[in-house]
Amino acid sequence: MQPISQQSTGQTPVMKPTRLIVLVAFKRDEEGELRPAIEPRECPSESSAATNARLLAGSGHYDGVLAWWRSADLINGEFGEPVEIYRWGEVPEME
C-alpha cells in the first residue's frame, strides 16, 4: 500500500484559538485578604471544572471557589475576556 501524500497549499496553517479552562480556590490570609489556596488548575472541559469546583466548595476548606474559561491565542499571546463557569463563596474580581 502506498502512503497517502499530502499536498501543500503554500499557506501557513492557521491555529484555532485555544480555550483555557481554569479552576482555583481561595482562602483569607492573616490580614483578611483573599489569596489562592491552591495553584490554579487547568481543566479538560467546562463540565470537569464545574464538577471539581462543586467538590472543593463542599469540602469546607475554602472561602471561595471559581471556575472560568477564556479563549487564548497562544502564538500571539492574546486572551479573551474571562467567562465564569462556577462561582461559590468569596472570590476576588476577575481581571
Contacts of 56 (CB under 8 A, 6+ apart): 23, 25, 62, 65
28 vs 19: CA distance, rounded Å:
29
For the chain, the structural domain boundaries read 18-89
Per-residue pLDDT tens digits for 77-90: 889 999 999 999 99
Cell representation of residue 73: 491565542
Contact call for residues 21 and 33 (beta carbons, < 8 A): no
Quote the radius of gyration of the chain (alpha carbons, Å). Answer: 19
- Any idea which residue has 482555583 for its cell? 24
Amino acid (1-letter code) at residue 66: L
Per-residue pLDDT tens digits for 13-66: 555 668 999 999 999 999 999 999 999 999 999 999 999 999 999 999 999 999
Q: Which residues pair with 25 in a beta bridge?
A: 65
